[in-house]
Amino acid sequence: MKPTVYIETTIPSFYHSTRLEPEMVAMRNWTRSWWHEERDNYQVFTSDAVVDELETGDHPLMNEKIELIRALPFLEINEAVADVVAVYHEHRLMPKDDSGDALHLALASFHKCDYLLTWNCKHLANANKFGHIRRINGILCLATPELVTPLELVQESL
């Protein structure tokens, strides 16, 4: 069975990024590399939360970002997931935004994904927060996905 990956909003955003700063170009290239060369090695999921975030605001290539993930299976957002989000907020694990980082982490944790793929290194792929995330998920009897960037899941060519 292939490992499971939950795709949150930064992945389609960086895939279609038009920013020209060197670090942004590198992140876009790593995202595309993972998407085209590694994605088939995983069962990949996303959620309505990602589509909702992508539909918010006015940003370049909105439709292309949504189309990139449209064919992926969507994880269910249910009352149990909402309860996990509430606990994350109560324990100050994530910012209080019901449709943001806490929801993505709750979805990946509740649905037992092996990885949560993100470029959000402030709230999600942050080694300084991982212990706290693992403790709270342990209290909730939830699995804790590895919180990684596409660069971390790009296989090195032999």
The ranges assigned to domains in the chain are 4-153
Reading phi first (left if > 0) and then psi (alpha if -120 to 50, else beta), residue 48 is in alpha
Sheet with 115-117: strands ordered across: 43-45, 4-7, 115-117, 146-148
Regions of the chain short of the pLDDT cut 70: 97-99, 156-158
Q: What is the dihedral of CA 131, 83, 105, 71, to 10 degrees?
A: 160
Distance of CA 62 to the CA centre of its chain: 17
Whole-prediction pTM value? 0.92
Q: Tell me what pLDDT residue 125 has.
A: 73
Q: Which residue spans within the chain are E strands per DSSP?
A: 4-7, 43-45, 115-117, 146-148
Q: Tell me what pLDDT residue 157 has.
A: 45
Q: DSSP string spanning 114-139?
A: SEEE-S-TTTTS-HHHHHHHHHHHHH
At 42, list the tokens: 């995983």
Q: Tell me what pLDDT residue 129 has.
A: 84
Fold of 4-153: Rossmann fold (3.40.50)
Q: Tell me what pLDDT residue 158 has.
A: 35
At 142, list the tokens: 């939830």
